[in-house]
């Protein structure tokens, strides 16, 4: 029996030329070194893509096709002025100084109406309402003091030589009733008027008189005004000062008034304010 023995296969190293055998080890070392370096090289992280911003949907409302009715602007009414009737006045009217109106106390309508009237109105709702007469106007002018004229009377006895309307020079009273008396004549109207623009005097003022041609108050009081009152049975006594002028207590019988003397704004005359009560 014949035994076949395989011949050993010659190795590659044995068949490799000597020149290549000399490069085998250096190339193996170079390959191992390159692989080792690749292990230490850091890998760049993958860039994450940012999500794109999504815009929220906007709901668009459609305008209505209906027409809006616009009301025309009403034209303002022009008030027609009534014709002014001119009256012929023979003489210059004297401005009456108005007194401040005193408010009336309010009364309850429930207490004023009788019980029978209230019951009748409640039972018959269609009944005609009762006509209430208007309140009587309150006289707020200085003439509401009847004694004011009596206390201004002695001023008519003071006279000065002046040219009259007929161009004749004669002694005439210095009390001038033709001059309109108002707050404009006063240097400081505040002590005498609550509303100078409307010539409303303060409560307690009975009258305001004007003495023309007298521009020296102290001399006129001593030589003319005081003798005019004491010579007609009045007492004439100074009680103080008010509104840049003296105040005198004037009495006759049981009636007392207080006269306040001040120079006018231009210092060409004297204003006399008659008070019911002393302002000082």
Structure tokens at 21: 């055998």
pTM for this model (two decimals): 0.51
Q: How far apart are CA 276 and CA 260, in angstroms?
A: 11
Distant-in-sequence, close-in-space partners of 233: CB < 8 Å, separation ≥ 6: 252
- Give all strands (DSSP E) within 68-155, no chain letters: 98-99
pLDDT at residue 135, as a whole number: 38
89 vs 67, higher pLDDT: 67
pLDDT digit string (tens) for 160-202? 887 777 788 888 899 988 878 899 999 999 999 999 999 999 9
Residue that wins the pLDDT comparison between 111 and 100: 100
In angstroms, the CA 230 to CA 247 distance is: 16
Instruction: Give residue for tokens 């001593």.
Output: 222
Please tell me which residue, 166 or 121, carries the higher pLDDT value: 166
Q: Encoding tokens for residue 191? A: 């002590």
For residues 135-143, give the mean pLDDT.
41
pLDDT at position 6 over 60: no
User: Which tens digits make up the pLDDT trace of 50-80?
Assistant: 767 666 665 655 555 555 555 666 666 655 5
The pLDDT score that the predictor gives to residue 28 is 85
Q: Exposure string (b/e) for 239-255, b if CB count within 10 Å is 16 or more? A: eeebbebbbbbbebeee
What's the pLDDT at 132?
A: 42
Question: What pLDDT, on a 0 to 100 scale, did the predictor assign at position 98?
Answer: 55
pLDDT in tens, 218-253: 999 999 999 999 999 999 999 999 999 999 999 999
């Amino acid at each position: 029996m014949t035994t076949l023995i395989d011949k050993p296969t010659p190795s590659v190293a044995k068949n490799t030329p000597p020149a290549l055998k000399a490069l085998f080890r250096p190339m193996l070392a170079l390959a191992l070194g390159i692989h080792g370096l690749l292990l230490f090289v850091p890998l760049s992280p993958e860039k994450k893509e940012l999500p794109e911003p999504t815009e929220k949907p906007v709901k668009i409302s459609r305008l209505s096709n209906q027409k809006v009715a616009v009301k025309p602007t009403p034209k303002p009414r022009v008030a027609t002025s009534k014709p002014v009737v001119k009256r012929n006045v023979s003489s210059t009217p004297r401005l009456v100084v108005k007194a401040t109106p005193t408010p009336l106390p309010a009364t309850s309508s429930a207490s004023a109406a009788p019980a029978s009237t209230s019951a009748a109105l409640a039972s018959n709702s269609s009944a005609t309402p009762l006509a209430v007469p208007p309140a009587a106007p309150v006289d707020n002018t200085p003439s509401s003091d009847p004694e004011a004229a009596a206390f201004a009377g002695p001023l008519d006895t003071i006279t000065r030589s002046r040219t009259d309307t007929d161009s004749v020079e004669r002694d005439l009273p210095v009390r001038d009733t033709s001059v309109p008396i108002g707050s404009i004549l006063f240097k400081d109207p505040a002590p005498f008027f609550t509303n100078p623009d409307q010539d409303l005097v303060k409560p307690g003022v009975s009258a305001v008189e004007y003495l023309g041609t007298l521009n020296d108050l102290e001399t006129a009081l001593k030589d003319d005004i005081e003798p005019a009152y004491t010579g007609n049975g009045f007492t004439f006594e100074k009680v103080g000062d008010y509104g840049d002028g003296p105040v005198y207590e004037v009495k006759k019988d049981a009636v007392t008034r207080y006269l306040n003397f001040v120079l006018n704004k231009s210092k060409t005359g004297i204003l006399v304010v008659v008070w019911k009560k002393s302002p000082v």
